[in-house]
């Protein structure tokens, strides 16, 4: 599904190399987790995959189902099926949540050569998905994320994901700032979307999210590289001993 080879990324503004040769393959149907100390480059990787500006790829490649991702504009990546749930979801004053979702969904359908979804069908779809995530009608009518609590914002990210049904879902610290109940809602939402044709990259600093979204593969990122890969037990090792042991071992 997603193939990243030798990815090197620096900041556009300053001469600072952040990713220093990331290699990663996420197979369809699998959930890969990336853990790592603060500042190791996890968010940068997710931004670069989604096409955010400010970063320059100096070497390496990224492909989704064989298509060169780095050549594409952010909206083309979205149409191709890459979705990033942000660590800090942005507020969009003046744009209703429902309008935003419907516009995003129809843009994607258009890119795929499909017809727009009717207002009635969309309403049915959104009500059903929102119910699962305990998102009430009021939250659907309000401007995107404006005045939402931290937990509501994260749930709203998962709602976007559930509506858009991307091929490759990237979640950047979706658990940060969530209480246990909100985290479970988010995890249930993600688990409901796990399917054969969809890959997940779940970025988290802490292990606890991975109790609820059990990954197939766990990677440890440090100083712009993936330094260790293993199964779910690797996350438990981090929980128990911190990153120190692993970093010392690979140094
Ligand atoms: P993580 O998500 O693992 O905590 P980040 O990808 O946010 O790490 O950051 C990796 C490194 O790159 C950090 O040292 C961070 O300070 C630096 N960095 C990332 N983006 C910028 C930026 N726009 N300007 C300056 N430094 C940045
Ligand atoms: Mg961080
Ligand atoms: Mg981060």
pLDDT along the chain (251 residues), means of 10: 98 95 97 95 96 96 97 92 90 93 92 91 94 88 92 91 94 86 89 95 90 96 96 93 88 79
**Can you give the pLDDT at residue 245?**
87
Name the residue among 241, 197, 196, 194 with its Cα closest to residue 215.
Answer: 194
Cα 36 versus chain centre, distance: 16
DSSP 17-56: EEEEEEEEEE-TT-EEEEE--TTSSHHHHHHHHHT-TTEE
**Can you give the pLDDT at residue 201?**
97
**Can you give the pLDDT at residue 251?**
79
How far away, in angstroms, is 172 Cα from ligand 3 center? 7
The four Cα atoms 135, 141, 147, 151 give a dihedral, to 10 degrees, of 10
Give the residue, by CA position, lying nearest to ligand 1 atom 20.
44
User: ipTM above 0.90?
Assistant: yes
Contact 74, 51 (CB under 8 A): yes
Cα 164 versus chain centre, distance: 13
Q: Under CATH, which architecture does the 2-249 domain have? A: 3-Layer(aba) Sandwich (3.40)
**Can you give the pLDDT at residue 88?**
84
Beta-carbon contacts of residue 46 (< 8 Å; ≥ 6 apart):
84, 170, 172, 201, 203
Q: From edge to edge, which strands make up the β-sheet containing 199-203?
A: 82-85, 168-172, 199-203, 31-35, 217-222, 225-230
Cβ < 5 A residues, ion ligand 2: 38
Does ligand 1 lie within 6 Å of residue 38's CB atom?
Answer: yes
d(CA 68, CA 56): 16
**Can you give the pLDDT at residue 185?**
87
Does ligand 1 lie within 6 Å of residue 44's CB atom?
Answer: yes
**Can you give the pLDDT at residue 250?**
82
d(CA 129, CA 110): 22
Question: What region, left, alpha or beta, does residue 21 occupy, with left being phi > 0 and alpha being psi -120 to 50 degrees?
Answer: left
d(CA 149, CA 165): 24
Does ligand 1 lie within 6 Å of residue 40's CB atom?
Answer: yes
163: DSSP letter: H
């Amino acid at each position: 599904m997603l193939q990243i080879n030798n990815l090197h990324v620096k900041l556009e503004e300053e001469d600072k190399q952040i990713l220093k040769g990331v290699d990663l393959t996420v197979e369809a149907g699998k959930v890969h987790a990336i853990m790592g100390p603060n500042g190791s480059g996890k968010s940068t990787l997710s931004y670069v995959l989604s096409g955010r500006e400010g970063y320059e790829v100096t070497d390496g490649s990224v492909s989704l189902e064989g298509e060169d991702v780095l050549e594409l504009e952010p909206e083309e990546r979205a149409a191709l099926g890459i979705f990033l749930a942000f660590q800090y979801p942005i507020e969009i004053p003046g744009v209703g949540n429902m309008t935003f979702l419907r516009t995003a969904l129809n843009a994607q359908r258009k890119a795929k050569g499909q017809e727009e979804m009717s207002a009635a069908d969309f309403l049915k779809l959104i009500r059903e998905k929102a119910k699962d995530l305990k998102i009430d009608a009021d939250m659907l009518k309000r401007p995107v994320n404006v005045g939402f609590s931290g937990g509501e914002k994260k749930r709203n990210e998962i709602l976007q994901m559930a509506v858009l049904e991307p091929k490759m879902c990237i979640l950047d610290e979706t658990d940060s700032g969530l209480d246990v109940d909100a985290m479970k809602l988010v995890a249930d939402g993600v688990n409901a979307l796990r399917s054969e044709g969809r890959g997940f990259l779940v970025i988290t600093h802490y292990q606890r999210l991975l109790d609820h979204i059990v990954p197939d593969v766990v990677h440890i990122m440090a100083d712009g590289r993936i330094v260790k890969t293993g199964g779910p037990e690797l996350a438990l090792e981090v929980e128990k001993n911190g990153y120190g042991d692993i970093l010392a071992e690979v140094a």
